[in-house]
Structure 1
């Protein structure tokens, strides 16, 4: 049996209101030091300016708690709204800028936000919330520019409301409080050994938990600088590294694959300590090729929204890293259990070194899903992640796959049911099932199996693609549609999604073999 204490690491204490106290501390200790930089615009904000801006935004939001839907592009304003909500007692709902109106309507129905923060005023119309107040990017930036007060305000514990995907592919609500986020950010600071001299770069979106916690909040706790890009740019990535004297960057395996398609830059500043990857497994060949070509250590990690992101990380050099391993537990307890055969099965540890379901516990972990307190993923203080893995004799976690049906494309979790509901609303679709197709760049691409009410044709496939593209954001749109006479089901009528996934895996394997024998 595994001894849980063997896999507990970095149990540092985090006091209440840690984010606000840290912002006040650094604003007093190094008021003119740069806190946030926008990669594209080169705009900078000092710690003192950030504290004043947080105060100004808190006043503009009004009395807490308010439900704030944040659909601003990644940058200074977005980051400060995160901090203002978390330290001002508000409930923040991050949302992708430029989402389709159907997606806006779904999130509005689920959460009924009272304040919409959008880049342009017309972007708020798709939410259908006539009573909600709208604050544009320009309005936020004007408040940030005029902010001047450094007088301390009473910190109020805020929350972030996220929508993630569970083992069934159905969207689930995750509510993280300020202390849970602070805990994880502190573990990132400790495990990555961040100091005020560090300059971190994130090119990841702020509507997921990684960028705001792993990059923004950890940098705040360290008193260091965070460089925020609106989006990843293969042509600008290395120039940002040089221009802003970046010492570490947070990326995902998809970006590693894209960077491997670029030439090694003539410069590679010696200050660049490591690249950090998460969100999906990094292929070992990509890791090794990247490190050899660019001479930069790659730190693999593992995290999940339910625990405010990072829970496992490899140590920095010169400590031992293991390619293919996500590392060792950081600030949480971890155990490997027998995958349950039914929802009432007790937690039962596997033998040391055996593969099983990864289960975690710790201060950063939520205790239940929002609007779904009876979800069986939570048992006796432990969370069943739905992921499969094993722990080796040195305490390193190796992830071998997942039980869940969620599709992971480029590090983004995509719920199959959302895609299926859109397709089923088409008058010619009788049945639909979305699954992931293995992809060497994105990890997975979305494909849809359909049963239609008419004769199948290329024209109908194109029509379904256009129909989905009008109602779903681009990563969720299926890249292929396959028509079947019937979808595979078990005797009770439940969809056998695993058979469709196996079919896609077989197709990918056959193509891979063919490419190597041609």
Structure 2
């Protein structure tokens, strides 16, 4: 039996570079050796509480030092981490605890009210991070090292934001996560031990957990945590700490590009990675102009650990694409209409993005039917539509579910959004289809105006008409202060459709 544990990422650094700064949060600075000691002490506490290898332990915490310490403690004790999104209601947290079969919840004081209420309702024991967990760790015997796990044993269960129905638990193995961190660190990007990365992405989400935490530490580099993202504070902190690496979602890149003009000093960034949602080329250009740094856009899903493809220095970068598949991963385009088998399409054709490789999950916890629908012929069906060009660059066109069919013509919202974000009065745009008696669906743009502007709906429509085909331009334009975002900072189009459908 091949054994492997996510905990080895931290354990190996503690052996190789114990005094190297691993983690910075506010005034707290911890070396790899100290983080590992804290994790083993807390793993001892978990074992004393009855956590056995394979048990699920829920973790609900913001981007404070407690999160990585608890995360590696659960892994060291042989437990399975169930990260809990911080914006969930009590009922939604109850669903995650019940569905995952969690036997314990580790909750940060800031989330304790919601976490405890959900845990009490489901009969799950709760330990508060900070004083309570520290006391238990001080009283317990620390583990000498991490417990043995098989490479294919579950390591983390991510609850997918559930764009359809109830969130499902995607089960990822130690092998999935260690390989994804390794390939991200050494193949996709050139991450070096002296790099300093800003950890602003939520660590409870796959992108923040793999790319910011595990990949940074896999390379022996330093992670600087920012518990609440604020663009001006992020720039200030990166400049103070000498950070050269930033991972973010498009909304963060929008905010950073806008805040750069007023910043007293800008960090010298070497590695910038965008993921989580499509990055409009206009935003990429604004950010690169402000910071003088190249953005590498990537793509992945909770079910793929998450990284599947990214613009990689080795292949050259191409704005508007998600680059090439990661080392050891295949990303292809299959016929979207065929459900029961994978039929790969020729270069340049539009179809469903399908993925196979070491990053593909074991399945959805307790949902064999959903797993069988998603894993077909050894490929994971993403539900995203895309193309692959002759140079191997992949492009995501849209979610299969978000395509608008207006008068029999397909309209891809992403294409319309790319055009709208070039309008000087528009900071962000989300395009949705709304029911229409005449055309079946009508194209509606929900727009966040750029600061200090007040665009007019008719004028936006007229401007769009000059830049888009007749069936594509938005006949309806609605204005909002902010777009609703899901756990992974993706725009929740179902909420927008519900909000504007009956107006």
* Offset, 1:165: 4.8
2:247 aligns with 250
1:358 aligns with 353
Counterpart CA distance in 1 for 2:266 and 2:113 is 43
Q: Does the 8 Å contact 2:325/2:331 carry over to 1?
A: yes
Distance change >3 Å, CA 276–CA 258, structure 1 → 2: same
Counterpart CA distance in 2 for 1:445 and 1:80 is 40
Distance change >3 Å, CA 53–CA 511, structure 1 → 2: farther
Distance change >3 Å, CA 499–CA 52, structure 1 → 2: farther
* Offset, 1:148: 10
Matched, 1:512 2:460: yes
Distance change >3 Å, CA 323–CA 61, structure 1 → 2: same
- 2:117 equivalent among 107, 126, 136: 126
2:147 aligns with 154
Distance change >3 Å, CA 22–CA 347, structure 1 → 2: closer
Q: Does the 8 Å contact 2:429/2:447 carry over to 1?
A: no
SS of the residue 2:106 aligns to: strand
Distance change >3 Å, CA 507–CA 267, structure 1 → 2: closer
Q: How does 1:296-375 map to 2 (within 5 A)?
A: 296-316=293-313, 320-331=316-327, 332-341=329-338, 343-344=339-340, 346-375=341-370
Matched, 1:237 2:241: no
Counterpart CA distance in 1 for 2:99 and 2:210 is 24
Q: Does the 8 Å contact 1:300/1:327 carry over to 2?
A: yes
* Offset, 1:72: 1.5
Distance change >3 Å, CA 445–CA 506, structure 1 → 2: closer
Distance change >3 Å, CA 382–CA 443, structure 1 → 2: farther
1:495 aligns with none
2:379 aligns with 382
SS of the residue 1:89 aligns to: coil
Counterpart CA distance in 2 for 1:515 and 1:126 is 51
* Offset, 1:199: 0.8
Measured against aligned partners, the alpha-carbon deviations of 1:236-288 in whole angstroms (never above 9, x if no partner) come to 01111111111111111011111222233343344x20211000111111111
* Offset, 1:116: 1.5
Measured against aligned partners, the alpha-carbon deviations of 1:71-126 in whole angstroms (never above 9, x if no partner) come to 11222111122222233321221112353222223323323422122223544332
* Offset, 1:510: 6.2
Q: Does the 8 Å contact 2:23/2:224 carry over to 1?
A: yes
Of 23-32 and 127-136, the range deviating more from structure 2: 127-136
TM-score normalised by length of structure 2: 0.75
Measured against aligned partners, the alpha-carbon deviations of 1:153-176 in whole angstroms (never above 9, x if no partner) come to 434355211221567455322011
Distance change >3 Å, CA 488–CA 16, structure 1 → 2: farther
Counterpart CA distance in 1 for 2:335 and 2:96 is 35
Q: How does 1:207-246 map to 2 (within 5 A)?
A: 207-246=204-243
Matched, 1:140 2:136: no
Of 87-96 and 138-147, the range deviating more from structure 2: 138-147
1:55 aligns with 40
* Offset, 1:141: 5.0
Distance change >3 Å, CA 37–CA 284, structure 1 → 2: same
Q: Does the 8 Å contact 1:291/1:298 carry over to 2?
A: yes
Counterpart CA distance in 2 for 1:322 and 1:146 is 54
Counterpart CA distance in 1 for 2:142 and 2:390 is 54
* Offset, 1:444: 4.1
Counterpart CA distance in 1 for 2:35 and 2:271 is 27
Q: Does the 8 Å contact 2:172/2:362 carry over to 1?
A: no
2:105 aligns with 116
CA RMSD in angstroms, aligned pairs only: 3.2
Distance change >3 Å, CA 367–CA 443, structure 1 → 2: farther
- 1:171 equivalent among 167, 179, 191: 167
Instruction: Determine which structure has greater relative contact order: mean sequence separation of CA pairs < 8 Å that are 6+ residues apart, divided by chain length.
Output: 1
SS of the residue 2:331 aligns to: strand
Matched residues, number: 420
Distance change >3 Å, CA 269–CA 143, structure 1 → 2: farther
Q: Does the 8 Å contact 1:52/1:148 carry over to 2?
A: no
1:287 aligns with 284
Counterpart CA distance in 2 for 1:169 and 1:268 is 43
Counterpart CA distance in 1 for 2:239 and 2:302 is 31
Distance change >3 Å, CA 79–CA 510, structure 1 → 2: farther
Distance change >3 Å, CA 192–CA 246, structure 1 → 2: same
Q: How does 1:457-472 map to 2 (within 5 A)?
A: none
* Offset, 1:385: 0.6
Q: Does the 8 Å contact 1:34/1:225 carry over to 2?
A: yes
Q: Does the 8 Å contact 1:169/1:404 carry over to 2?
A: no
2:84 aligns with 95
Counterpart CA distance in 2 for 1:320 and 1:301 is 13
